[in-house]
Amino acid sequence: MTWGSISLNDGHSIPGIAFGTWTLGNGQNPIDQVDQALSVGFNHIDTAQSYRNEEEAGKAFRESGLARSDVFITTKYSGLNGLDIETSIQNSLKNLGVSYVDLYLIHHPRLAVPDIPIAWAKMEAIKAAGLAKSIGVSNFGVDELNTLLASAKVKPAANQILFHPYVYAKQIPTLELAAEHGIVIEAYSSLIPITRQPGGPLDEPLNAIAKRLDATADQVMFAWVKAKGVVVVTTSSKKSRLEGYLAAGDIKLTNEDIAAIDAAGTRAGRQTAGSVLRRLAIVGLVGAAALRIYTYLF
């Protein structure tokens, strides 16, 4: 079960797969789920202020008996209760029961108040104080990253974004800018094409590759994310699935496999765009000329 770690631009490293607590709610359930993830071999826990389960994630970690250095902990500034970044990191550390987090992210550009440069300077101060080993962002696109980088003394170490084959082409400019500055990309919701959008162009290549490799479609999807050099953030309440996700780290896709998945994802994007344009044309919001141009190009 080889996921390994990816080097960050600040000298630290990040595990290649994380167990996320976004959908777990609070109470005993997230404690049990994080405990299970740690017990099967996950060593990266991803949470956030807005998930309202930092305390539960911290409790599960502390009860695991693992050393602090054994687990990579990510949390995010989500602007919860209108609190500022400086107060929020202290609250998060208290909730988690730790003296530092490995990675602290601004959860969304709109939360960078009063603006991105000032918010990022506060993040840099948190890193300098040793409250976070690494700092980064989430849901930042090219424009927001460029605004941040223009004034940053410390570059973001990571950018956690929506990432799966159906949005891959759209995310390429963000990926390229990140690569230029050594910013590691983390992927959330990578299984959307399987769990929420089945029946699309990806079904055929994913299933064919899975059959050939004696794997599952979700394992192939995660292997594709890994092949892109991207960190996986995922979750499941089922132990067998978590074990399967870890095992996906050993799957080796061929260049042909990756190209087939890329191509299917691009086809889906074009089909979606064409469908939207056709619906808009029907209600008169897009002219026939725009529809003809789209049809010619794609």
Token representation of residue 10: 């600040």
Residue 285 domain flag:
no
Q: What pLDDT was estimated at residue 198? A: 92
Residue 45 domain flag:
yes
Question: Catalytic: which of 51, 77, 104, 245?
Answer: 51
Residue 11 domain flag:
yes
Q: Which domain holds residue 180?
A: 5-252
Q: Is the pLDDT of residue 184 over 50?
A: yes
Q: Which CATH number belongs to the domain containing residue 78 in this structure?
A: 3.20.20.100
| Nearest C-alpha neighbor of 233 from the set 122, 109, 105 | 105
Number of helical H runs and strand E runs in the chain = 12, 10
Rounded to an integer, what distance in angstroms lies between the CA atom of residue 205 and that of residue 235?
Answer: 24
Rounded to an integer, what distance in angstroms lies between the CA atom of residue 172 and that of residue 168?
Answer: 6
The binding site for substrate comprises 107
Rounded to an integer, what distance in angstroms lies between the CA atom of residue 190 and that of residue 164?
Answer: 5
Residue that wins the pLDDT comparison between 297 and 160: 160
Residue 209 domain flag:
yes
Helix (H, G, I), strand (E, B) or coil at 198: coil
pLDDT tens sequence across 129-152: 999 999 999 999 999 999 999 999
Backbone angles phi, psi at 166, to 5 degrees: -75, -20
Q: Is the pLDDT of residue 255 over 80?
A: yes
Torsion 161-80-44-203 (CA) sign? negative
Residue 265 domain flag:
no
pTM of the model: 0.89
Residue 274 domain flag:
no
Residue 50 near residue 41 (C-beta atoms within 8 A): no
Q: How confident is the model at residue 2 (pLDDT cuts 50, 70, 90)?
A: confident
Helix (H, G, I), strand (E, B) or coil at 197: coil
Q: Is the pLDDT of residue 63 over 90?
A: yes
Residue 296 domain flag:
no
Q: Is the pLDDT of residue 230 over 50?
A: yes
Please give the full DSSP string across 98-161, using - where no structure is assigned.
-S-EEEEEES-GGGS-S-HHHHHHHHHHHHHTTSEEEEEEES--HHHHHHHHHH-SS--SEEEE
Residue 276 domain flag:
no
Contacts of 135 (CB under 8 A, 6+ apart): 103, 104, 105, 123, 124, 126, 127, 154, 156, 157
Strands 17-20 and 44-46: parallel
Number of separate domains in the chain: 1
Does residue 51 have an active-site annotation?
yes
Token representation of residue 16: 């290649």
Rounded to an integer, what distance in angstroms lies between the CA atom of residue 298 and that of residue 293?
Answer: 9
